């Protein structure tokens, strides 16, 4: 049976060149970067090359890149590191209600420890954030603002440069973090153009290995050490022996992502638009989020999210899975639980609409032929499930 993978927002397949490099660092260049001997020095060199490659993808300096175990750790560290180091200024944090759980749950944990958390209002339907809403939420005690660059479920692209500039015009000392995990490799990211102080990315969303990511930390503001204590790795900022194979793989994936960004984005967009033209023609299928045919720049090129009237998203997923099609309902981290997506609820979907939603995220290996197959199977599944729900019809 054919497999059509349409879940690139959940993870991507490791690029073959990247996989080869990871293998090389598992088997040949296996040293500990802290060792002073030749084997260790080779591993160190690999890590520092990777740091330069990741920095280049973000327009940052290598010294501003800190490797982590992934996007989740980078997000957790960003929030905690900023707030704990700046208690003298205050205890207030602003996030959006539809962040990834890595930010949302980190904020919730901080809230239990006495920090005050404001959830910004987002525009119904699209999730777009107005600068005025952000300015209204700011207080003299606001230490950190965290707004994701691209939403992982509905693909909304936020104007991080505009939001960050507005916030800093009001309070030059406010720290701005963006979770750019979904944006990386599809939307040009330049930390100086964006103006952000902290930015999270993850390797496995850009055709790199899992379990590795990075936090960009702009030089020159108060920021706390990582979440672990132990050795003095990452310039004493994050304890623990570096995941060298992961890091070098991530570095190469970042270099390829920078080089291939325009082509990958154009290809994903072509696949996504073809898919949407097909499924939106089916009765009772509705798009969630920004209309990419009207505002292509405001939606991630590979993201499609639709609700199917009268059909459970989970049931659709199972039908599609039987046809070899991989998609997701809600975000991958929460599927398995029957709670409707917090993202869709945050943009004003009803519980029914949220529960009948599906996300398809397209990427490198998808072809036009694949998409036509997905559209046909999607239509068959909708018809089947609707008949099942109302046998008389
Ligand atoms: C996948 C994802 C994360 C988590 O990254 P991991 O490397 O899987 O921990 C965080 N934020 C967003 C927006 C994501 O899509």
Q: 181 CA to middle of ligand 1, Å? A: 6
**Cβ atoms of residues 276 and 292 within 8 Å:** yes
pLDDT for 391 equals 74
**Cβ atoms of residues 298 and 123 within 8 Å:** no
Q: 108 CA to middle of ligand 1, Å? A: 17
Alpha carbon separation from 28 to 22, 43, 52, 244 (Å, rounded): 10, 10, 22, 12
d(C-alpha 22, C-alpha 26), whole Å? 6
Span 104-114, average pLDDT: 98
Pocket test for ligand 1, best of 202, 206, 246, 359 (most atoms within 8 A of CB): 202
Reference 122, options 99, 88, 138, 92; nearest CA is 99
Reference 4, options 327, 280, 301, 317; nearest CA is 327
Structure tokens at 124: 């119904």
Domain that includes residue 385, residue range: 4-12+261-389
Give the angle 273-96-333 at the CA atoms, nearest 5°.
65
Number of neighbours of residue 241 by Cβ within 10 angstroms? 12
Which residue, by CA, sits nearest to atom 3 of ligand 1?
71
Q: Are residues 35 and 168 in the same domain?
A: yes
**Could you say which of 255, 278, 304 is where a domain stops?**
255
Q: Are residues 251 and 268 in the same domain?
A: no
Q: 72 CA to middle of ligand 1, Å? A: 6
Q: Are residues 273 and 185 in the same domain?
A: no
Pocket test for ligand 1, best of 149, 179, 207, 243 (most atoms within 8 A of CB): 179
Coil, helix or strand for 146? Answer: strand
pLDDT for 246 equals 98
What's the domain count of the chain?
2
Ligand 1 site residues, Cβ closer than 6 angstroms: 70-72, 75, 100, 102, 148, 152, 179, 181-182, 202, 204-205, 213
CATH for 174: 3.40.640.10
Q: Are residues 275 and 232 in the same domain?
A: no
Strand partners of residue 357: 307
**Cβ atoms of residues 180 and 199 within 8 Å:** yes
**Could you say which of 255, 271, 297 is where a domain stops?**
255
Reference 176, options 160, 202, 196; nearest CA is 196
d(C-alpha 274, C-alpha 360), whole Å? 12
Model confidence pLDDT, tens digit, residues 263-283: 999 999 999 999 999 999 999
**Could you say which of 229, 255, 281 is where a domain stops?**
255
d(C-alpha 306, C-alpha 324), whole Å? 19
CATH for 354: 3.90.1150.10
d(C-alpha 359, C-alpha 375), whole Å? 13
Which pTM value belongs to this model? 0.96
Q: Are residues 223 and 276 in the same domain?
A: no
Q: Are residues 243 and 269 in the same domain?
A: no
Report the atom number in ligand 1 closest to the C-alpha of 204: 7
Residue 333 is among the residues annotated as catalytic for this protein: yes
Confidence band (pLDDT; 50, 70, 90) for 384? very high
In the set 6, 14, 164, 333, the catalytic residue is 333
Q: Are residues 70 and 201 in the same domain?
A: yes
| Position 207 pLDDT exceeds 50 | yes
Which residue, by CA, sits nearest to atom 10 of ligand 1?
71
């Amino acid at each position: 049976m054919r497999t059509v993978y349409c879940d690139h927002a959940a993870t991507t397949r490791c690029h073959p060149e990247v996989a080869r490099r990871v293998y090389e660092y598992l088997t040949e260049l296996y040293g500990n970067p802290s060792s002073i001997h030749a084997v260790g020095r080779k591993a160190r060199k690999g890590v520092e090359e990777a740091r330069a490659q990741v920095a280049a993808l973000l327009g940052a300096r290598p010294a501003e890149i800190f490797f982590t175990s992934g996007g989740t750790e980078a997000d957790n560290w960003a929030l905690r590191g900023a707030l704990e180091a700046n208690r003298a200024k205050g205890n207030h944090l602003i996030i959006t209600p539809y962040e990834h759980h890595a930010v949302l749950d980190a904020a919730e944990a901080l809230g239990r420890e006495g920090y005050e958390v404001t959830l910004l209002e987002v525009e119904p339907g699209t999730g777009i954030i107005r600068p005025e809403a952000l300015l209204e939420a700011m207080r003299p005690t606001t230490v950190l603002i965290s707004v994701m660059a691209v939403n992982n479920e509905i693909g909304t692209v936020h104007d991080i440069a505009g939001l960050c500039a507005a916030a800093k015009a009001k309070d030059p000392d406010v720290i701005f973090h963006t979770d750019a995990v979904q944006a990386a490799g599809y939307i040009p990211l330049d930390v100086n153009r964006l103006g952000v102080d902290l930015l999270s990315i993850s390797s496995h969303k850009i055709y790199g290995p899992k379990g590795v990511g990075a936090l960009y930390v702009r030089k020159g503001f108060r920021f706390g050490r990582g979440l672990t204590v132990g050795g003095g790795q990452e310039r004493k900022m994050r304890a623990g022996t570096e995941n060298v194979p992961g890091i070098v793989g991530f570095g190469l994936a970042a270099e390829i992502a920078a080089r291939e960004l325009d082509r990958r984005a154009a290809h994903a967009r072509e696949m996504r638009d073809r898919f949407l033209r097909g499924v939106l023609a089916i009765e009772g299928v509705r798009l969630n989020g920004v209309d990419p045919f009207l505002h292509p720049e405001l939606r991630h090129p590979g993201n499609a999210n639709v609700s199917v009237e009268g059909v459970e998203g989970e049931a659709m997923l199972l039908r599609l899975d039987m046809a070899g099609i991989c998609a997701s309902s809600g975000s991958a981290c929460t599927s398995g639980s029957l709670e409707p997506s917090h993202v869709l609820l945050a943009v004003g979907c009803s519980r029914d609409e949220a529960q009948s939603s599906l996300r398809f995220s397209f990427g490198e290996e998808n072809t036009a032929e694949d998409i036509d197959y997905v559209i046909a199977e999607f239509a068959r599944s909708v018809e089947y499930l609707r008949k099942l729900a109302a046998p008389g019809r």
